[in-house]
Amino acid sequence: MTSFDPSALLTARTRTADEGAIIRMAQKSRDLRAKGMDVVSLTVGEPDFDTPDHIQQEATAAMKAGFTHYSPVQGIPELRAALSRKLKAENNLDYAAAEICVTNGAKQAIANAVLSLIDQGDEVIMLAPFWVSYEITVRFAGGTPVVLAATVDEDYKVPASRIAAAITPRTKLLILNSPSNPTGAVWSANELEAIAEIVRLHPRMMVLSDEIYEYIMFDGRMASIGALPGMRERTITVNGFSKGFAMTGWRLGFAAAVEPVTRAMVRMQGTITTGANQFVQRAAIAALEGPREEVERMRLRYRARRDMVLAGLRAIEGVRIGSIPATFYAFPDVSALLGRKAGNHVMDTTDRLCDWLLEEHGVAVVPGTAFGAPGSIRLSFAASEADIQKALDRMSSALKSLA
């Protein structure tokens, strides 16, 4: 019998789908904990709060009422109507229920959009630091990521002039994520208008606007690029229930775009997963239209933690951080610390620095390489205040000890 190696059968595509550093650091923390080490982990990007009770109750009631069957692929009409009202009232976006696709998480909305628009060789502009999934999904579709990077001194926002200079005849899509994972940056209405001005000049270009951190903002409200003049047709707005409503495990998101694009996205979804869970969609209506006190309570907790994290990081020499107007992430630039030593170990990359922080000091954070920004590290403050303080204390004494 000849030897059989199933891994030799795998497609090239599988090699593009590597989630990398976040999962690696989270797994490494679990492994060290299992060996008895006291590890504080600020790696994962998910609320540490439970889903508000009235949303849970609605899901249970819907399940009992028989909403346990396949959903229409595009989502139940009642939820799409509620989303259409939400987009108008909160984001000044005009999309009818027929222009909305309910998805299994915002991640699927992004995949639907990219698979619908990007063919082999199409270029997609993404603004680093960015959420790593964008790059992986674009490569998965055969597209070419064009990465433009901004520094901490630019508040991590790539200026519109650099975006204009990167556009070629093959550019199909610009991915925007405001508020941003991992930096917490928020683009103002004026900054979005400067981008829209460039996009409107190009007949073959659209914007994917990922607004999933909409409800975790600390000053004012965000602006949606799809609400700007001439941008309705050119924008796919993606959002979801995971972050603001603490519903990560429920897997519910949505995309809004003009009908031909929405229809294509529905076809992609129909091929891969079909519609999202029915009783979860019922509960999502309660999330949108029910009381928002819990969402506000969580926001205030994140804001207090943001203040703790900023104060802690600003007190460490060699760590640079601007403001964090939104999200539950801090993304300090630690490039001034690279090259320093702990004993014989040189911290020449943030990957090495993060491994050392975890293995020697019991604090897990994610290297910026995972976000297209190798000089920074990401801390998630979706963790208890006690854990955040412990992590800051450990980081402070560890980083100060570097020679």
Ligand X SMILES: Cc1ncc(COP(=O)(O)O)c(C=O)c1O
Q: How far is the CB of 121 from ligand X (least distance, A)?
A: 25
Q: Which is nearer to ligand X, 131 or 279 (CB)?
A: 131
Contacts of 194 (CB under 8 A, 6+ apart): 160
Q: Under rule CB under 6 A, which residues in 180-239 are in contact with ligand X?
A: 181, 210, 212
Q: Which of 28, 40, 45, 278 binds ligand X (CB under 6 A)?
A: 45
Total residues contacting ligand X by CB under 6 A comes to 13
Q: Which is nearer to ligand X, 127 or 399 (CB)?
A: 127
Q: How far is the CB of 242 from ligand X (least distance, A)?
A: 3
* 106 binds ligand X, rule: CB under 6 A: yes
DSSP assignment string, 312-361? HHHTSTT-B-----BSSEE--B-GGGTT-EETTEE--SHHHHHHHHHHHH
Q: How far is the CB of 395 from ligand X (least distance, A)?
A: 22
Q: Under rule CB under 6 A, which residues in 111-140 are in contact with ligand X?
A: 131
In the shown chain, the binding pattern of residues 309 to 348 toward ligand X, with x for contact by CB under 6 A and - for none, equals ----------------------------------------
Q: Which of 366, 357, 367 is nearest to 391 (CA)?
A: 357
Contact criterion met (CB below 8 Å) for 157 and 339:
no
Q: Which is nearer to ligand X, 224 or 335 (CB)?
A: 224
SS3 44: coil
- Point out which span in 48-56, 93-101, 103-111, 157-165 binds ligand X (CB under 6 A): 103-111
Q: Residue 102 gets which letter from DSSP?
A: E
Contact criterion met (CB below 8 Å) for 136 and 115:
no
Q: What distance in Å separates the CA atoms of residue 312 and residue 399, rounded to the nearest whole number?
A: 12
* 74 binds ligand X, rule: CB under 6 A: no
Q: Which is nearer to ligand X, 56 or 396 (CB)?
A: 56
At residue 362, φ and ψ (nearest 5 deg) are 65, 35
Q: What distance in Å separates the CA atoms of residue 179 and residue 138, rounded to the nearest whole number?
A: 21
Work out whether the CA dihedral 195, 197, 202, 207 comes out positive or negative. Answer: positive
Q: Which is nearer to ligand X, 116 or 242 (CB)?
A: 242
* 372 binds ligand X, rule: CB under 6 A: no
Q: Which is nearer to ligand X, 58 or 210 (CB)?
A: 210
Q: Which is nearer to ligand X, 51 or 248 (CB)?
A: 248
Q: Which of 112, 242, 278, 281 binds ligand X (CB under 6 A)?
A: 242
Q: What distance in Å separates the CA atoms of residue 289 and residue 83, rounded to the nearest whole number?
A: 10
Query: Among all chains, which residue has been given the structure tokens 């070629």?
Result: 168
Q: How far is the CB of 7 from ligand X (least distance, A)?
A: 28
Q: Which of 403, 364, 379 is nearest to 313 (CA)?
A: 379
Q: What distance in Å separates the CA atoms of residue 379 and residue 388, rounded to the nearest whole number?
A: 9
* 105 binds ligand X, rule: CB under 6 A: yes
Q: Under rule CB under 6 A, which residues in 249-308 are in contact with ligand X?
A: 253
Q: Which of 24, 28, 80, 107 binds ligand X (CB under 6 A)?
A: 107
Q: Which is nearer to ligand X, 253 or 332 (CB)?
A: 253
Q: Give CA separation, 284 vs 240, 332, 363, in Å.
A: 10, 34, 35
Q: How far is the CB of 291 from ligand X (least distance, A)?
A: 22
Residues that bind ligand X (CB under 6 A): 45, 105-107, 131, 177, 181, 210, 212, 240, 242, 248, 253
